[in-house]
Every structure is written in C-alpha cells, then in structure tokens.
Amino acid sequence: MNPTVLTILISSLGLGTTLTFIGSHWLLVWMGLEINTLAIIPLMIRQHHPRAVEATTKYFITQATASALLLFASITNAWTSGEWSLTEMINPTSATLALTALALKIGLAPLHFWLPEVLQGLDLTTGLILSTWQKLAPFAILLQLYPLLNPNLLLSLGILSTIIGGWGGLNQTQLRKILAYSSIANLGWMITILHYAPNLTLLNLILYIIMTLTTFLLFKIFNSTKINSIASSSTKSPLLSIITLLTLLSLGGLPPLSGFMPKWLILQELTKQSLFTPATIMALMALLSLFFY
C-alpha cells in the first residue's frame, strides 16, 4: 500500500477515536465512529484475497447496522427529550438501543457472530488494530453512559459473553479465532462490572489491550496462525516462547500474573453487590478459558 495512503488511513483512525473521546454531542460521537469504521476497511482489504474480502464485507455490514441503530437511538432520545448531549439520555428505550448498538460494534454475545469470522480472515497486524484500537471509541461512550444503562441487561450481556467466550474457544486450532473468543470473554468481564465499578472496567480494558498487543506482536514475530506453528517455533527462540506462554496465561487470568488482578477485583465487587450466582458462573468460565490457553 502507498505510504501516503497508509498515513492518511492511520491518521483517520486516530481522528475518529479522538472525535468520539472529546464529543459530547451525539452526532459528533456518531461521526467519530463512522470515520473509524471507514478508515479501517481499506486496511482490512489491502491483501486482495477472498478471505479478506469476505471478512471486510461482514465487518462493514455489521458496523453499518450498529451505527444506524446508534443514530436511531440518539434521534429517538432527541425527539423525546430535546437534548443531543451524550449524558442526557433520559429515554430508557434509547439507552437500551444505544447499548445494543455498542454491543454489536465491539462483538459482545449474543451479537458476537461476526467477530471470530472477521478476525480469521485478516492478517495479524489488522487483527491487532481490530482487537485493540477499535474497542476504545465504543468503550469511551459506554463509560459515559453507564449510569443510564440497565444493570440487569449489562449483567446478562456480560455473563453470556464469558460463557460463549469460554466454550467457543475450546474446539479451535486457529490462533486468531482463539484470540477472538478470548476478546469476547474479556469484554464480558468488563461489561458485567460497568454499572457497579466503571474504574474496574477501565483497568481491565487497559490490561486487556496491553496483553493482546503483546500476543499479536509475538505471533507476528513467529509468523504463526495455527497452534502447531507455535510448538515448532519454541526450538528457534525459547525465550520468546516463554513470554508467549506467560502472556496467554495472563490473558486467561492465572494467578499471580497481571491478568488475574482485574478478574479478582471484579469478583470481589460482584460479591459485595450480593451477585453471587453471576460471580460463580464467571469464575467457572474463566477456568474454561484457562484450559484452552
């Protein structure tokens, strides 16, 4: 790809996310999300093979649907309240629609079906951008909207995501699909606690981005897309293989690694809120995730 075009696309990615970060008007926030989506599509399709084209088409249709739903939610809220401000979403129907749209954007269960397929069709660099940078803008909106969202709906989405993220990764041999299910499970943990302790959601998101960044970069160094290729590369560079192993276990939340800290704090907060059943289910699903890691 032409370096000038690449620079423009990466700058647009940054601009879209920044607009969403600083915007307090629904149209500005929506515009930021749209710029973000349109900037990553040429990066996804630059390889010109059928899998990349299929993944890009699926991603575009999903994101366009989510954006339309988000715009509809903001217009409905403006119609009933006369306010375009992000924090003035007083209409419960609009808040639920906005949450559904953002869940579809980031790939929360049960709206997760596009994520493993799309990630599988991309190269590791674009997959890295999709798994990390593209999560920032929707979470910026969620962290501003959290007092207005239905806690039971957030809890349901979170628990379902941890269950599907745990079960879905068990039967996979493709590393990108495993990372997609890992993403769904980690997002489930973040969404579950969003209403009760948004600072824990932010902590979990930061740690998840650092660990996913490390994992994707290590796979890129090894040029690995399947589990077998990691096993063969351990003889070439044992130190990097050990780092890969520790990063994967950290993503799964094995104590005493850093990935365990947010999970422990989230379980602690859930028990303080007397949500014992969700805490138990999520702890068991974390064991499933650890098993496939």
pLDDT digits (tens, 9 = 90+) for 80-101: 988 888 888 888 899 999 999 9
Rounded CA separation 8/46 (Å):
14
Q: What is the average pLDDT across 259-278?
A: 92
Which residues neighbour 87 within 8 Å (Cβ) at sequence distance 6 or greater? 24, 144, 145, 148
DSSP assignment, residue 276? H
DSSP helix/strand/coil, 85: strand
| pLDDT given for residue 171 in this prediction | 79
| pLDDT given for residue 17 in this prediction | 95
Statement: residue 182 has pLDDT above 80: yes
Extract the tokens encoding 177.
């699909």
DSSP assignment, residue 25? B
247 backbone dihedrals φ, ψ, rounded to 5°: -65, -45
DSSP assignment, residue 107? T
Q: Which of 10-24, 168-182, 259-273 has the lowest mean pLDDT?
A: 168-182
Statement: residue 62 has pLDDT above 80: yes
Site of tokens 């999560």: 135
Residue 128, amino acid: L
Task: Enumerate the H helices of the chain as residue ranges.
Answer: 3-22, 26-45, 50-81, 92-106, 114-120, 124-131, 133-145, 151-168, 175-193, 198-222, 227-233, 238-252, 260-272, 276-292
| pLDDT given for residue 88 in this prediction | 82
Quick one: CA torsion of 265, 268, 274, 276, rounded to 10 degrees? 100
Q: Cα 78 to chain center, whole Å?
A: 28
Statement: residue 183 has pLDDT above 80: yes
| pLDDT given for residue 143 in this prediction | 93
pLDDT tens readout for residues 237-256: 778 888 888 888 888 888 88
Rounded CA separation 163/158 (Å):
9
Rounded CA separation 129/41 (Å):
11
Residue 231, amino acid: A
Q: Which of 2-6, 134-138, 170-174 has the lowest mean pLDDT?
A: 170-174
Q: What is the average pLDDT across 119-133?
A: 93
| pLDDT given for residue 229 in this prediction | 72
Tell me the sheet residues that pair with 25: 85
Residue 243 or residue 226, greater confidence:
243
Helix axis angle for 260-272 and 198-222, nearest 10°, is 160
Tell me the sheet residues that pair with 174: 226
pLDDT tens readout for residues 139-150: 999 999 988 899
